[in-house]
Structure 1
Amino acid sequence: MTCAELLIRLLRDTYDVDTVFGIPGVHTVELYRGLGGGETASGIRHVTPRHEQGAGFMADGYARATGQPGVCFIITGPGMTNIATAMGQALADSVPMLVISSVNRHDTLGRGQGRLHELPSQQQLIAGLARFSHTLLEPQALPEVLARAFSVFEVGRPGPVHIEIPIDLLDAPVEEPASWRRTSLASASPDLEALEKAGDWLRQAKCPLVLLGGGCIKEPSAARSMVEALDAPAVTTINAKGLLGIDHPLDLGANASLPAVRKLAIDADVVLAIGTELGETDYDVVFDDGFSLGGRLIRVDIDAEQLARNQPADLALMADAGLTLKALASRFSQTPLRKNGEERTRATREALALWQDPAFAPYVSLFDTLRDTLPEAILVGDSCATTYAANHLVSQPATRRFFNASTGYGTLGYGLPAAMGASLGKPELPVVALVGDGGIMFTLTELACAVEEALPVLILLWHNQGYEEIRRYMDSADVPRLGVDIQAPDFQMLAAGFGCYARSVGDPESLAEAIRERPQQGPSLIEIDAAAWNASLQE
C-alpha cells in the first residue's frame, strides 16, 4: 500500500475515525485515493467545507460534542494559513484536533524555489499553534507519529497536532505495520500523599470553594459526588457547563467575574481548582484583574506548567482530573461533610440576581424559549451578544452541550461551522448556533456545506446592526465609533440563495413558533431583530 492508504487504514481501523473535514487540492489528491468511493471506499465520511478555517471549526465542534479528535485534511501553504485561526482556538481551549497536511517535496523543503504553495517553513509557522508539529520524512514512521498524536489526545493536555507529509511520500510504497492495535494508555493518578493532604485541608475548611474546568467533563458523576460530599459551592466554567447537571443547588455556573462570586472566592479558606487554567476568559471577563483567592489553593492539572500559571498554588497535583475527582469523591462520600454549601450557593445566586440584571434582560426570554422548545439542544456560540449572556444565564443537563469561541482565543466566525461539526458528531441531538450579524459574515459560506450535508442546525442570528460589544467599549473609553456600525446584507435572501430555510422574528412568541415550524431536514436560519425584540419586552 502507499503511505496515504496506510494513513487512511490507521485512522479508520486503529483510531476509529469516522469523519474527515477537508478541501481537496492538487497536493492532497493521493489522500483521496484512500478515501474514495466504489470498491475502494474507506467508510470514512468526508465533509467539504468552503474554507479551511471552516474545516478547523467543524473539527473543533465535532471534537467538543463527541470527545473524539476532529480530523482535517489540508493542502500545503494557503490551506494551512487558513486553518491557523481554528487551530489557535482549539489550542487555547485544549480541544483534540488532528491536522494532516501535505507539504512540498522533501528534497525541496527550505530551498525557496518558488514552488506551488511554498512557505519558507510550514512546520515552523504552525508549530506555535499545535501541541506538536511533525514533518514525516520516512513513510514507515507514520504509525509511530500517529500514536504520539493520539497519546496527546487521550492522556495528555489535548490540543491540535499537525502532521505534514511531503507530496512525494504520499504515494510512496510502505509495508503493512506489524500490528494495527492501538496502544492502551493509562491516565496519571494523583500522588497519594498529596491527595491525603488535600483531603485534610478540605475536611478542616469552614468555607471551601470548588472551581471545576473543562478538564473535568469526562467524569460528571464523580464531580457531582465529590461536590455534594464536600458540600461546597462550585464554579463550573464555560467549558464545564453541565458538569453537575441542570440547575444543581451547588452550581454557581460560569460567573466568577461577577462581584458576588468574587466575594465568595475571597472569603473561602480553601479553594480546590481541578482541570481549569484559572484564565482570564473564565474568571475575569471584565478585564480588571479582580479575581482573587483569600485562602489556600489546591490545584489539579494534567499539565505541569499550567500548575504554575495565573494563581500560585499552595498544593499542586499533576494528575488526571477525572481520576482525582473519583479519588476525592470516594474519600468524602464515606463521611459526607457539612459546610453549608447549598445555603452559601443560594445566597450568592440571590446576590447575583442574574435574571433581574438589566444587562441580561433582553436574553432571559430568549433562553427560556430555547429551554422550552429544545431542552436537549447543544448550544454552540460565536463571539456575540447572545453567547456572552448564555455564559451566565444558561444551565445545561449534561456536559458537551455548551461551548463557544468567547473563551481563550476568542475568534469570530466559529459558531456556524462548529455547530455543523457538533451536528455531524451528535446527529441524535438538536444543535443551535448562536451567532451575530457581524461574526457570521466570517464563515457564512459554510451554509452551502450545511445544506449539502442536510445538517438540521438551527442558526439563531441576533441582528443588532454591527459590532455591539466593540461599540460599548469605544463609548466607555470615549473613543469615537469607527468601523463598528457595519452594513449588513439581506440575510433572508442570502439564506434562500443557499437553499436554506429562513425566517425573521422580533419577539419570544414568534421565535417559539419559528422553532416549532422549521423543517427537520437541513439547516434553518432564524434572524432575530434585536431592536424589535427589545421593544417587545417593554410592551
Structure 2
Amino acid sequence: MTTVGERLVQGLAARGVEVVFGIPGVHTVELYRGLAGSPIRHVTARHEQGAAFMADGYARVSGKPGVAFLITGPGLTNALTAMAQAKADSVPMLVITGVNRRDSLGAGLGHLHELPDQAGMVRALCPSFQVTAPERLGPVLDLAFAALTADRPGPVHIEVPTDVMPLPAPPLPPPAAQSLCLPDPALIAAALSRLGTARRPVILAGGGIRGAEAAVQALAERLDAPVVQTVNARGVMFGHALSVPASPSLEATRALIAGADTVLAIGTEIGPTDYDMYLRGGFPDVSGMIRIDCSAAQLARHAAGLCIRADAGAAIAALLAGVPPGQATREGADRAAKARQAARAELAQLDPAMPARLAMVEAMRDACPGAIIVGDSTQPVYAANLVYDHDRPHGWFNAATGYGALGFAPGAAVGAALAAPASPVICLIGDGGLQFSPGELRSAVDESLPITFVVWNNAGFREIAEAMTGAGTAVIGCSPSPLRLQAFAQACDLAFDSVPHDPAALRAALRQPHQGPRLIEIRAGDTGLSH
C-alpha cells in the first residue's frame, strides 16, 4: 500500500523538488514516510520561521519553488512571517502542513495544534488548498504549482488532514504542463513604435526580469537606455556603462527618470520600499510608461500608457526582434554615468556614515568574487540597497525591502548555499537581527555549508535608535545586550574572527581559507582606519 504521504513526496519529486526544509512533528510523521526512499533531501531547521526563510533563499537562487514541511498549527503560524516576506518579494514558496482530522475541523474541541480555521487564516495571505481525499492529491499539487508559477509568484499552502495522510492513494497522473504568458503581438508593435521614436529612454528593471538578464542588457544596448535596478534586480548589468544600480528613492536616480522621454518598466511592482524609501513623495510622473508584468493585478495598480501582460523574458525577446541593432549612441551611457556618480555623492548627504558602510559591502564583493550576499535589515545593507552594484545576478538580496522581516538572513543563506553549492555565500546581519534566528547557524553546521556569517555588531538596534532621535523621541528599547560572539561561535562550532570597521581588515579576514561555516564579527563602532 502506498499512502497519501508517500504519494505526496513522489509528486514533489516529479515536479523537480530536490530539497525540503522543515521540522518534523507528531502531526506530520506520515508526510515524512516517503522521504527516506526518495531523491529529496531534507534539511532540518531550528524554527519553522527559519525553515520557511530557507525555502525563500533556495527559491531566489535556484529559480525553483522552495518547499517547507511544517506541523499543524504553530508550525504554520511560526512560518507566516517568512511567507509574508516571500509574498512581498514575489518568491515562489510551497508550505505543506498537516491539519487536524477532518471531522474535528472548526468544532473547537481543543485538539493539539487546533486553529479555528487554519486554511482561512492563510488565505488572507496566499492561496491555500486542502487534500480532502486521496484522489484529490494530484489535482491539488497541480493547482498549487500553477499558483506558484503562473501570474505573480509567491507563497502557496497545502494542508493534509492527519486522517488523510495514511490512507492508500492511487498513482498520481503526470504533472500538468505549465504555460508561459506570452505577449500580445499588437501590444509589442505599439511598444516598438513608441520606443522607436524615443531619444532619452530609461528602463526600470525589477526582480521579475529573472532569467532574462542577457536579453535586458541587449535591449538596453540597442535602445541606448540606462537601466535603473531595484534591489532584487541588482547584478543584472554589473559594471556595464548603462547600469544604474541605485535606488529610485534617490534624487539622483529620480532626475534620470524625470529626464526620460520614454520609460519602460519591466517586472517591477513600483513599490514604496524601492521607489519611495523615505516616504517623502515626489517620484516623477511615469503614468505614460510602457509596463511589462506577468500579473494583471500589478498592472492595474499604476497608471501606464501601455500595459503588456507577459512573462518578462518572452516580452523582451519579442521587443528585441523588432529593435534593429546599431541604433544606439553614447548619450545613454553618459546619462547613466552621471546618475551613478550623483547617487554615490547623495549617500553622504543622507548620512555621513553611509559611504563607509557601503565600502564594507563592496569589500565583501571584492574579497569573494561571485559570492551570494544574503542580507538582513542592518545598516550596511540599507546603504548598499541605495547604491551598490553586485557582480552576479540574484547574488544580492535581503529582507530590508518589501515586508522587512528581521532574522531573515541566516535561514535564507542556508537555502542559498544549498541552491548554489559551488558559490561562496555571505550572510550579512546585525547583532540585533541575529538574535531573532541564531539557531539556523547550527543548521549550516549540520549541512557543512561554506557560509560566512558576517555580524555587524553595533550593540543594539542602532538604526531604530537614530530614527527615534531624529523624531525627537526618547530612545527606548534599542539596546538589547548583544551576544558574546566569540563564545557564541564556539558554541556553534564555527571558526571565529573579529575585525574593526575597516574594509582592508574585512577583505583580509574573508580571504582566509576555511572549511564549513564561520563567523566574522565587524566591530561597527571601531573604525580601525588609523591603524
TM range (shorter): over 0.9
Say whether the 8 Å CA contact 2:368–2:511 is kept in structure 1: no
Say whether the 8 Å CA contact 1:22–1:47 is kept in structure 2: yes
SS in 2 for 1:101: strand
1:190 aligns with 2:183: yes
CA shift at 1:518, angstroms?
A: 4.7
Counterpart for residue 397 of structure 2: 403
Distance in 2 (CA, whole Å) between partners of 1:127 and 1:197 is 38
Counterpart for residue 360 of structure 1: 354
1:466 to 440, 447, 460: 460
- Which residues of 2 match residues 150-165 of structure 1 at below 5 A? 150-165=145-160
Alignment-mate amino acid for residue 5 of structure 1: E
Say whether the 8 Å CA contact 1:208–1:232 is kept in structure 2: yes
Distance in 1 (CA, whole Å) between partners of 2:269 and 2:530 is 40
CA shift at 1:124, angstroms?
A: 0.9
Change (3 A) 1:296 1:337: farther
Alignment-mate amino acid for residue 317 of structure 1: I
Q: Mean Cα displacement is larger for which, 263-272 or 223-232?
A: 263-272
Say whether the 8 Å CA contact 2:292–2:312 is kept in structure 1: yes
Distance in 1 (CA, whole Å) between partners of 2:362 and 2:56 is 27
Distance in 1 (CA, whole Å) between partners of 2:165 and 2:152 is 29
Counterpart for residue 214 of structure 1: 207
Per-residue Cα deviation, 1:494-521 (whole angstroms, up to 9, x for no partner): 111111111111133332232222522x
1:456 aligns with 2:450: yes
1:481 to 475, 483, 488: 475
Distance in 2 (CA, whole Å) between partners of 1:79 and 1:294 is 43
1:34 aligns with 2:34: yes
1:376 aligns with 2:348: no
In the alignment, structure 1 segments of 5+ residues that lack a partner are none
Per-residue Cα deviation, 1:428-479 (whole angstroms, up to 9, x for no partner): 0000001001111100111111111111110110111211211121111111
1:263 aligns with 2:255: yes
Per-residue Cα deviation, 1:348-385 (whole angstroms, up to 9, x for no partner): 22222349733422224323422332011001000111
1:241 to 228, 234, 239: 234
1:329 aligns with 2:323: no
- Which residues of 2 match residues 43-54 of structure 1 at below 5 A? 43-54=39-50
SS in 2 for 1:265: helix
Distance in 1 (CA, whole Å) between partners of 2:503 and 2:338 is 30
Counterpart for residue 264 of structure 2: 272
1:135 to 121, 126, 130: 130
1:126 to 122, 125, 139: 122
Counterpart for residue 319 of structure 1: 310
Aligned length: 526
Counterpart for residue 4 of structure 1: 5
Alignment-mate amino acid for residue 456 of structure 1: P
Distance in 2 (CA, whole Å) between partners of 1:222 and 1:306 is 22
Q: Mean Cα displacement is larger for which, 395-404 or 113-122?
A: 395-404
Sequence identity percentage: 45
Alignment-mate amino acid for residue 537 of structure 1: L
Change (3 A) 1:294 1:103: closer
Distance in 1 (CA, whole Å) between partners of 2:397 and 2:261 is 31
Say whether the 8 Å CA contact 1:233–1:341 is kept in structure 2: yes
Counterpart for residue 82 of structure 1: 78
Q: CA RMSD in A?
A: 1.6
Say whether the 8 Å CA contact 1:206–1:339 is kept in structure 2: no
CA shift at 1:485, angstroms?
A: 2.0
Counterpart for residue 289 of structure 2: 297
Distance in 2 (CA, whole Å) between partners of 1:197 and 1:429 is 42
CA shift at 1:196, angstroms?
A: 1.2
CA shift at 1:334, angstroms?
A: 4.2
What TM-score, normalized to structure 1?
Answer: 0.94
Counterpart for residue 171 of structure 2: 176
1:92 to 85, 88, 91: 88
Alignment-mate amino acid for residue 376 of structure 2: D
Change (3 A) 1:340 1:508: closer
SS in 2 for 1:95: coil
Counterpart for residue 283 of structure 1: 275
CA shift at 1:149, angstroms?
A: 1.7
Say whether the 8 Å CA contact 2:360–2:503 is kept in structure 1: yes
Alignment-mate amino acid for residue 11 of structure 1: L
